Structure formats: C-alpha cells, structure tokens
Amino acid sequence: MILRKLTASMMIAGFLFCGSAAQAATYHFGQLLAGNGPTNPYFADLEITDNGSGSWTFTLSALDLNTVFGSKSFIGSMAIDGMKPTSILTDAGGGVTKVNLQNGGGPTGIYDFRYDMINPKNDKLTGLESVTWHVGGLGSTALPGYNGELALHVQGIGSNGDSAWYVATSPVPEPETYAMLLVGLGLIGFMTHRKKGSAA
C-alpha cells in the first residue's frame, strides 16, 4: 500500500515537473514600438525552444506581410534585450540563407544585440516565409518575456518604404505543456477521489 502511494506520488510529481519545466513558447508580434506602420498588426510568430546545455532553437515565421504592410515589406532583423549567444547556425533552405549576429539594434538603445536577416545577396524574410536557427552559449537563461525584450524590424512599409519596430505581444504555451499539466492535475484528482472513497 505504501509502495503504491509512493509510486503514484512520484508519477504525479514527474508529470507536474515536466509540465512546468518545459522550456518552449511561441510569441506573437506585433505591438508598435516605434516608426511608421499600423499600430497593432499580427504579422509574425516566433517559436523558441530550450534544447538543454545552453542550446536554443528559434523559428521565425512571417504571416502575410503583403496584406498588412504592402508588397515590398520584409523583416530585416530581430533585436534582443538579453544575453548574446556565442554561436549561431541557420538551417538550410527558405528565403533566408543565413541569420547573422550583430551588436546593438532596436529604436530605444536598450537592446544588446540583434539577429540580422539581410544578407549580401539581399536575401530577407518576406511574407509567408520562415527561418530556423540554433544558438549556443546561453546556459540556463530563461525564455524571454514579452514586455519589450524581443523586437522585430519591418522594412519597406507602404509606398514610401517606411520602417517600424514591433514587440512581441504575448507568449503562447506549447500544447505539450498544457497536456502534461492536465495529466498531472488529473492524477491528483484521481488519488484524492480514491482516498475519500477509502475513508468512507
């Protein structure tokens, strides 16, 4: 009996730990931070995954930029207010051949570095394209929040070719996180129900 209770408790703790410790999130953009552009468009998603041992994966997906910003618009860079990685590797394929690390960036001067998506061959992230890159050397740095730590630079807006900076509006938990948490809560409810039944 004691062994069964101990096993059940360990399973519950494991599910709750997995649910709460999952380091993955998707961020929606954008809320206008600076520049000439629409105030609150939803035009891109960024998925960030912690692979462990200081390795992280980023996937930036542009939605229909043509409809939101015009036919010549593109995402030129993403500024980060946080620790700069020591290495970067871009997945092959897609509209962006390589994502580069650059110092500084962002309109307010608070950003530490940026991921530059404009290359010598003029490759850049345009509408309905995505790019994935992997970085190392970040240690156990937590996922960023959404109060200004991430900012995307949209260029070529409208007929005047304006530009604007947009910040992430919200992180969306991954489905796996919800699933693990629900399983853990379900096990707690089941054990509580069994305990009440035994007492009766």
55-76: pLDDT as tens digits: 999 999 999 999 999 999 999 9
Token reading at 39? 């105030």
Question: Looking at 64-196, which runs of residues are DSSP E strands?
Answer: 74-80, 87-90, 100-103, 113-116, 130-136, 150-157, 162-173
Q: How many domains does the chain have?
A: 2
Q: Are residues 104 and 187 in the same domain?
A: no
At 75, is the secondary structure helix, strand, or coil?
A: strand
Q: Are residues 112 and 184 in the same domain?
A: no
Q: Which residues constitute the domain of residue 65?
A: 23-173
Q: Are residues 168 and 186 in the same domain?
A: no
Q: Are residues 116 and 62 in the same domain?
A: yes
Q: Are residues 40 and 107 in the same domain?
A: yes
Q: How far apart are CA 161 and CA 155, in angstroms?
A: 7
Q: Is the pLDDT of residue 78 over 90?
A: yes
Query: Quick one: pLDDT band at residue 136, thresholds 50, 70, 90?
Result: very high
Q: Check residue 156 and give its pLDDT.
A: 97
Q: How far from the centroid of its chain's Cα atoms is residue 15's Cα? A: 23
In contact, 62 and 129? CB cutoff 8 Å = yes
Tokens 């468009």 correspond to what residue? Answer: 41
CATH number at residue 87: 2.60.40
Q: Are residues 71 and 146 in the same domain?
A: yes
Residue bearing the bigger pLDDT, 140 or 50: 50
